[in-house]
Amino acid sequence: MTSRTRRPVAAHGQLSRPSAWSQLLKVLGIAMAVVLVSGVGVAAYVGYDLTHTFVAKAVTLDGESSVPPDIGAIKGGVNMLLVGSDACEPEFAAEFGDRCSDPENAGERNDTNLLLHISDSPRRVTVITFPRDLMIQIPSCIDSDGNDTSPASKQAINTTLETGGPKNGLACVARTISKLSGLDIQFAAKITWGGVMKVTDAIGGVDVCVANGITDPDTGLNLEAGTHTLQGYWALQFLRTRHGVGDGSDLGRGSNQQVYMSSLARKMVSAKVLGNPGTLLKLANTVMSNVTPSTTLTSPTLLVQIALAMKDVPLDQINFVNYPVFTDPDDPNKVVPDYDSADQLWAALAANEPIQVTGQRNDAVISATPAPTDPATDPNAGQGATTDPSATPTPGATSGPVELSKNISGQSAAQQTCSNGNGFSG
């Protein structure tokens, strides 16, 4: 593994620490929090200590009154929206140049939109990335003043956080993605750039594999080929880069983020995080301080249930996929939905069928997982356990996974992948 020296970023304040382990264990145990920013996706199991501040900033979503107190009663699986905000926080604004200094860039956008689906038993996890340049119908939302906004027949999805404003932006994103997907969204969370930096620091960084090296003057990212442990500012810039990988598009950026997310998922379930009480406690405090939750996510019981539902899901049943799109005929820099391919994905999730991702953006991601051994040439093939024809089938099992359209790119958490960089300049 290689690791490069990085310039320091703004110092972070000391995180408040609850009264030892008794308070942590008494309140929640292990729970899941997902954080993202500017196309960032970060999934983590953490312990929450619900404070007044965390509850006070919660946002109400559509249909919250019908969400049962037990996730087992939520038919069709649990859906959680994870939004990454590009808000310019004073503590970090100097790090982001024109984005935070140019008045024309004012406003807060949802540059990352992830929908996390946890299926009914047997549990499977699917994380769908919606590109920020996706042009879709935007429903009427409620703004921060309590007024109804005008619906739009075709508008970029990343405008919805600003449409709802500081008070109702998260709810507007959830309403928009619910309309597009046809899924009820019971839970949601939002995190900023600064929050992502602090969370990656809390877990000690994430290992990412880079092929060919990356040079991106827009983010300042300059990585040699190899494996890098990225934290804080540089983890964020890796997640933000688009011109450093693939064809420089937002779609390539989304696939590059999945290299990070799959590595993060593997680290979260390892002894380095779940098996380390000190790391869990630090992560719990960091997430709680930096995430804006939906009101439903402030329920200790539901948080524990969500964590337990995900805890034992095999890595090969945790899939990261990109929402399928076509180039917008009105603007080559935008994209529009591929509804037919998306319907195939929604149908597989509704039926709780295992999925197999067959599409991959090879311009942005290179597989690093060894190819499976050919049974015809493997001398040990067939020498292991055999199938008992009288055995009872596993509930929910099918004859095989649903092969998704090749226009749905992505990977499972079990797959080792590398970012296909544009070359290291030194």
Q: Does 292 fall in a domain?
A: yes
Residue range 192-218, pLDDT digits in tens: 888 889 989 999 999 999 999 999 998
Instruction: Tell me, yes or no, whether 396 lies in a domain.
Output: no
Lowest-confidence range among 36-40, 311-315, 343-347? Answer: 36-40
Domain total for the chain? 1
Cβ atoms of 89 and 108 within 8 Å: the answer is: no
For 238-253, what is the mean pLDDT?
87
Confirm whether 208 is domain-assigned: yes
Amino acid found at 131: P
Helix axes of 193-202 and 232-240: crossing angle, nearest 10 degrees: 130
With beta carbons less than 8 A apart as the criterion, state whether 173 and 160 touch.
yes
Indicate the pLDDT class of residue 335, thresholds 50, 70 and 90: very high
Please state whether 87 falls in left (phi above 0), alpha (psi between -120 and 50) or beta: beta
Amino acid at 337: P
pLDDT at 132: 93
Residue 307 domain-assigned (yes or no):
yes
Between 279 and 413, the more confident residue is 413
Give residue 369's pLDDT.
Answer: 63
What angle (nearest 5°) sits at the alpha carbon of residue 171, between those of residues 319 and 235?
45
Whole-number pLDDT of residue 284: 76
| Confidence band for 340, pLDDT divided at 50, 70 and 90 | very high
Q: Which residues pair with 403 in a beta bridge?
A: 356
Mean pLDDT of 221-230: 94
Determine the pLDDT at residue 45: 36
Q: For tokens 């937002």, what's the residue?
A: 250
3-state secondary structure of 346: helix
pLDDT of 32 over the 70 cut: no
Residue 225's SS3 state is: coil
Whether 380 maps to a domain, the answer reads: no
Q: Is residue 9 one of the residues assigned to a domain?
A: no
pLDDT of residue 180: 97
- Give me the torsion for CA of 385, 386, 390, 395, rounded to 10°: 60
What does the pLDDT read at residue 59? 93
Q: What is the pLDDT of residue 14?
A: 35
pTM: 0.80
HSE (CB half, 13 Å, CA atoms) of 172? 31
Q: Is 248 exposed, middle or buried (0-12, 13-18, 19+ CB in 10 A)?
A: middle
Answer whether 115's CB lies under 8 Å from 254's CB: no
> How many other β-carbons are positioned within 10 Å of the β-carbon of residue 377?
7
Average pLDDT of span 67-93: 88
Query: Would 233 be classed as within a structural domain?
Result: yes
CA 413 to CA 390: how far, in whole Å?
Answer: 32
Nearest one of 259, 250, 240, 401 to 323, comparing CA atoms: 250
The residue ranking higher by pLDDT, 44 or 321, is: 321
Angle between helices 277-290 and 20-27 (to 10 degrees): 60
The per-residue DSSP string of 64-101 comes to: GGG--SSGGGSTT-EEEEEEEE----TTTGGGGTHHHH
Q: Give the CATH number for residue 181.
A: 3.40.630.190
Q: Which residue has the higher pLDDT, 245 or 54?
A: 245
The answer to the question of residue 310 being in a domain is yes
The CA-CA-CA angle for residues 365, 367, 370, to 5°, reads 175
pLDDT in tens, 282-293: 887 788 888 999
316 near 369, Cβ under 8 Å? no
Going by the DSSP 8-state scheme, the letter that residue 119 receives in this structure is P
The residue-averaged pLDDT of 347-354 equals 95
Whole-number Cα distances in Å, 32 to 295, 318, 327, 363: 15, 14, 35, 32
Domain hosting 140: range is 56-369+405-419
- Note whether 320 and 355 are within 8 A (CB): no
Would strands 206-211 and 135-138 be described as parallel, antiparallel, or unpaired?
unpaired
Half-sphere exposure of 229 (CA within 13 A, CB side): 9
